[in-house]
Copies of this chain bind each other. A is one copy, B any other.
Amino acid sequence: MSADLPFQNVAIIGLGLLGGSLGQAVRAHLPGATTRGYDADPAVRVRARELGLADTIADTAAEAVTGADLVILCVPVGAMGKAAREIAGSLSPDVVISDVGSSKHAVAVALAAELPGFAVIPAHPVAGTERSGPDAGFASLFHNRWCIVTPPADVDAAKLARLVAFWKALGANVETMDAAHHDLVLAVTSHLPHLIAYTIVGTASDLEDVTQSEVIKYSAGGFRDFTRIAASDPTMWRDVFLSNREAVLEMLQRFSEDLTALQKAIRVGDGEQLFDHFTRTRAVRRSIIEEGQDDARPDFGRSDHNGGVGG
């Protein structure tokens, strides 16, 4: 291993938005490292070769991980166990196994069960777009985004440090926390927002008295914002909700209580309560922009220079 490189040979299993971005990010930021990629879908492997998403695209997962000192599983959370089984017999003893899944307790359990004796250190880069597939990725995806690492209690400190260094080299900020807390935090900052967006886009599609054409034409009143995250990968999100069920249901319960309170304020005409609530939520946006976690321009800097919230 080179003195400068946290890992020399990186295997990437799954070459969609995250895996493809990872391959390109390693090439851009860790030019001394080699990457080997694999995807279960033969068509994705063909496209990954055309795009050069990794130095080599292997035809089996086992081949991809042979000789790797870091393996990152970039498959839907529900497919982690299967992916781990496919590579278990071909891993080097000192390898670090990590992943990019959006729920962490379920992944930690699945990987530990399939890979006893190996150093499994789950992680979750909080980054992405609504696109998916091998054409969706780009090298700067992780810049200034947070990567949450959820090491097990008995983690090898040196290996953890190398994984942290790896993500920092790709431009990410790194935080460590336990898997259960990660799942609670992401339930509110990511999983619940997606569930709500998926719901409202479905609601708007099913109306009889408002046509689909009207919903689309007048979407700049706010609705269009929700359609972006409701366009995210269905397999990935099915697995997120099934694997982080308890935390999602807990956050959903709180959301429903708050929604009922605002519903009642509307019904009884309590303008003061509405005004106070809407004033308080305004401050959160300012904090997010101050912390560099969103575009400071109005309307996310949309190209039409206008848009989202005319009412």
A interface list, Cβ under 8 A from B: 18, 78, 101-102, 124-131, 136, 138, 140-146, 148, 175, 184-186, 188-207, 209-210, 212, 214-232, 234-242, 245, 248-249, 251-252, 254-256, 258-259, 262-263, 266-267, 269, 271, 274-275, 277-282, 284-288, 291, 293-295, 297-311
Verify A128–B310 contact, CB threshold 8 A: yes
Tell whether A222 pairs with B197 under 8 Å between CB atoms, given A306-B145, A310-B128, A310-B145: yes
Verify A278–B238 contact, CB threshold 8 A: yes
Contact of A238 among B124, B191, B275 (CB under 8 A): B275
| Cα-based distance from A279 to B102 in the complex (angstroms) | 19
| Cα-based distance from A249 to B267 in the complex (angstroms) | 8
Verify A185–B199 contact, CB threshold 8 A: no
| Cα-based distance from A207 to B247 in the complex (angstroms) | 13
With both chains docked as a complex, state the minimum distance between the C-beta of A63 and any C-beta of chain B, in angstroms. 28
With both chains docked as a complex, state the minimum distance between the C-beta of A133 and any C-beta of chain B, in angstroms. 12
- Taken together, the copies of this chain in the complex come to 2
Tell whether A175 pairs with B266 under 8 Å between CB atoms, given A130-B299, A311-B186, A311-B191: no
Tell whether A224 pairs with B293 under 8 Å between CB atoms, given A210-B185, A303-B301: yes
27 A–B contacts from the bound complex (CB under 8 Å): A102-B221, A128-B306, A128-B308, A130-B308, A142-B306, A145-B306, A184-B209, A185-B218, A188-B204, A189-B204, A189-B223, A191-B222, A193-B221, A195-B266, A196-B226, A197-B225, A199-B255, A199-B262, A205-B280, A227-B288, A228-B299, A228-B300, A231-B282, A232-B282, A237-B311, A241-B274, A256-B259
Verify B204–A311 contact, CB threshold 8 A: no
Nearest B residue (CB) for A276: B234
Verify A190–B311 contact, CB threshold 8 A: yes
Verify A143–B306 contact, CB threshold 8 A: yes
Verify B285–A227 contact, CB threshold 8 A: yes
Tell whether A294 pairs with B224 under 8 Å between CB atoms, given A231-B281, A234-B275, A275-B235: yes
Verify A285–B188 contact, CB threshold 8 A: no
| Cα-based distance from A65 to B185 in the complex (angstroms) | 54
**In the complex, which residues of chain B have a beta carbon less than 8 angstroms from the beta carbon of A194?**
222, 309, 311
**In the complex, which residues of chain B have a beta carbon less than 8 angstroms from the beta carbon of A189?**
204, 214-215, 218-219, 221-223
